[in-house]
Each structure stands twice: as structure tokens, then as C-alpha cells.
């Protein structure tokens, strides 16, 4: 009788430890407030926005983004140069330890080129973010109307 309780306790501990290890790996990076703009008729480009939170003490680098939507997704930043607003690609994005980076219109964002389908408000789209600490975060983001 006593062995049965020990076996149940052992199984419960294994399940709890497994859950904690997985939760800890996912808690290093969290993403909130993510969305993708719907595509404009006749255009195959759109943008994604979100807040990326690094809950770790060490800086991490967003290195790559993939999606079934497109083979080409880039990190872009708006900046003012010579009185003109310009947009440029940045190859990677550093998120310092215990800090966050906000991707928002007219600032940092993800440019999604050559969409393989039109995106309409209420769609859900998948993006996977690849970080320098070998963490990948797959997101299911809502598509919102372009004019919002």
C-alpha cells in the first residue's frame, strides 16, 4: 500500500518538475499586445507590432522571424533624418536584461513582405520569433483593420 503512494508521489513530482522547466524556458521571453495589420487591397506588404519582454538578467537578440504568411519578414525602424521620416531594416534587435522593447506604428515593427494571402481583420496569423539564447516563441496574432 505504501509503495503505491510513493509511486503516485514520484509521478506527481516528475510532472511538476517537467512543467516548471518548460515554464521557466518560456518565461525568459514573453510577448504581449501583439497584432498584425490587415493587408491593403492591391498590396502584399503589412506590419506586425508587439511588446517583447526579456525576463532574464542577460540581454537577448531577436535574430529572425518566420511565418507561413511570407518568406521575408524584417525588423524595421522609423527614424527622422534630415526632416524626413525614414524606415530602415535592422538586422537584429537587442532586448536588454529585465527590460522590454515596444514595437508600435511609427517606430520599431516587423515588416512582412510578399504575403502569400490577403489578411483581413479577424484572421489569426502565426509568427515565430528566434532569439540568440536558442529560445523560439511562436505567436498566434490577431489581424486588425489597417486603419486602426
Q: Say if 12 falls within a structural domain.
A: no
Q: How many domains does the chain have?
A: 1
Q: Is 80 a member of any domain? A: yes
Q: Pull the grid cell for residue 70.
A: 511570407
87 domain-assigned:
yes
- The Cα diameter of the chain in Å comes to 80
Question: pLDDT tens across 16-56, in order?
Answer: 433 443 334 457 999 999 999 999 888 999 999 999 999 99
Beta strands 60-66; 72-81: pairing state: unpaired
Contact 48, 36 (CB under 8 A): yes
Per residue in 84-114, pLDDT (tens digit) is: 878 889 999 999 999 999 999 989 999 999 9
Q: pLDDT of 46-87, one tens digit each?
A: 999 999 999 999 999 999 999 999 999 999 998 777 888 788
> Would you say residue 63 lies in a domain?
yes
Residue 42 lies in a domain: yes
Q: Considering the domain boundaries, does residue 90 fall inside one?
A: yes
The answer as to whether 22 is a domain residue is no
How far apart, in whole angstroms, are the C-alpha atoms of residue 80 and residue 116?
31
pLDDT value of position 148: 60
| Residue ranges making up the domain that contains 54 | 29-144
CATH code, 96: 2.60.40.1890
Q: Are 43 and 71 within 8 A, CB to CB?
A: no
Whole-model pTM: value is 0.79
For residue 134, tell me if it sits in a domain: yes
Amino acid at each position: 500500500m505504501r509503495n503505491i503512494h510513493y509511486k503516485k508521489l514520484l509521478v506527481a513530482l516528475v510532472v511538476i518538475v517537467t512543467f516548471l522547466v518548460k515554464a521557466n524556458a518560456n518565461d525568459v521571453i514573453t510577448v504581449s499586445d501583439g497584432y498584425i495589420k490587415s493587408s491593403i487591397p492591391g498590396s502584399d506588404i503589412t506590419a506586425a507590432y508587439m511588446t517583447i519582454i526579456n525576463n532574464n538578467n542577460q540581454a537577448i537578440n531577436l535574430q529572425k522571424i518566420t511565418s507561413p504568411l511570407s518568406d521575408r519578414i524584417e525588423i524595421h525602424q522609423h527614424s527622422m533624418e534630415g526632416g524626413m521620416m525614414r524606415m530602415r531594416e535592422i538586422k537584429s534587435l537587442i532586448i536588454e536584461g529585465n527590460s522590454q522593447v515596444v514595437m508600435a506604428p511609427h517606430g520599431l515593427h516587423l515588416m512582412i513582405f510578399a504575403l502569400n494571402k490577403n489578411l483581413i481583420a479577424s484572421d489569426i496569423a502565426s509568427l515565430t520569433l528566434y532569439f540568440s539564447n536558442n529560445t523560439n516563441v511562436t505567436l498566434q496574432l490577431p489581424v486588425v483593420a489597417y486603419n486602426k
